[in-house]
Amino acid sequence: MAARALASVTVTFGMVSIPVKLYAATQAQAGVSFNLLHAGCGSRLKQQYLCAREGVVVERTDMVKGYEFAKDQYVTFTAEELKELEEKGTQTIEISEFVPADSIDPIYYDKAYFLGPDKGGAKPYALLAESMRQTGQTAVGRYAARGKQYIIQLRAIPGGLVMQQLLYAPEVRTIADVGIETAPVRDTELALAKQLIGQISSAGFDPAQYEDDVRKRIEAAVQKKVDGEQIAISPSVPETGAQVIDLMEALRASLEKTSGKRAPAKAGAASPAPAELTPAQRKPPRKVAAEPADTRRKVAKR
C-alpha cells in the first residue's frame, strides 16, 4: 500500500528550492489501549472536570487556559490570544547550515518523517541527497507546522531523505545530573569484557529480530477473554535481596554461557584473546546477604 503524504512543503538552501512531500516514517502501535468501565454494569466512563474550589462540574464552554506564575496564581489567555502567539506555518523547510552527520547526538532525536520529491523536484532532491552522502554532511534547519516551530535535521539514507525532528537544548538533560560515581577498571576485567562483547556482537542492528512480547501476551489474553476463557494468575514471588558476585567470576560465567551460541562478529573485527589470570586474581564469588524487607521499605520512603 502506497504511503499517504501528510503535507506538501518546500526545502530551501541558498537559491535552490526543492518541492517535497512529507510522509510519516513510523506508526504508533506500542501498546494495547484499555477503556475505563463501570465495574457494576460494564458501561464506559466519561471524563469530567471539577472546580477545585466549588466542587462543581465545569463544562468546556466555561473553561479558560491559565499559566501558573506563582503558587495558585494564574494569568489567563483567551483562545484568540493563544492563536496570536502561534508560529505561522510557511510550508517551508529552511536549511540554516550543514554539519557532520555524527555531530548530532541521537539523544536529540524526536519524530522522524520521510521526504519524497514532489512534482518537478526529482532532480534537485537527488542532488541534495547524493551531495550529503558524498560529503558526510547533514542539513539543519527550521520548520513551522501546527502553530509550533521545530528544529529539524535532513539526513540522507539509502533511497532518499529523512526529516528528523530534533529536541531543543533545554529539553535535553545532561548526564552530569545523574551523579555517576567513578570506579577504576582493571586491565583483566576490561579484557574479559571485550571478549564477551566480541562473542555477542553482530554485523549490524536488525530490528526484525525483536518483538514486543508484552503486546503479544496482552493480545493473546484479550482473545482468551473474548472466547470466554479465564486468565491464569501466577503466584506472587517474594522479593529477595540483590546478590552481588565477584565481577571477574560474572564475566567468566557469561563467556562460558555464550561460547556455544556466538553471534556473527563484525567484518574485520578480531575477538580479543582470553585473559590469563594469576591464582591470586581468581577469587571465589562473594555474596551479600539480602536486606530485610522492612529495611528496604524504610529506605524507599526516604
Any idea what the CATH number is for the domain that residue 11 is in?
Answer: 2.40.290.10
Q: How far apart are CA 41 and CA 64, in angstroms?
A: 34
Q: Where are the beta strands (DSSP E) in the chain?
A: 7-13, 16-24, 49-50, 57-58, 65-70, 73-77, 92-100, 109-117, 137-145, 148-157, 160-166
Same domain, 12 and 123: yes
Same domain, 134 and 18: yes
Determine the pLDDT at residue 299.
40
The b/e string for 236-271 (b: 16+ C-beta within 10 A; e otherwise) is: eeeeeeeeeeeebeebbebbeeeeeeeeebeeeeee
Cell of 241: 535481596
Range of the domain at 252: 185-201+245-269
Determine the pLDDT at residue 261.
56
Determine the pLDDT at residue 51.
92
Is there a domain that residue 280 lies in? no
Q: How far apart are CA 207 and CA 113, in angstroms?
A: 18
Determine the pLDDT at residue 285.
45
Task: Indicate the helix (H) or strand (E) that contains 133.
Answer: helix 122-135
Same domain, 159 and 11: yes
Q: How far apart are CA 133 and CA 157, in angstroms?
A: 8
Same domain, 142 and 197: no
Determine the pLDDT at residue 137.
95
* Domains in the chain, number: 2
Same domain, 144 and 251: no
Is the separation of the CB atoms in 286 and 245 below 8 Å? yes
Chunked mean pLDDT (size 10), the chain, 302 residues: 84 89 80 86 91 91 92 91 85 92 93 93 94 94 89 94 94 89 89 88 86 84 87 78 70 79 47 48 45 44 43
Overall pTM > 0.85: no
Cell of 85: 502567539
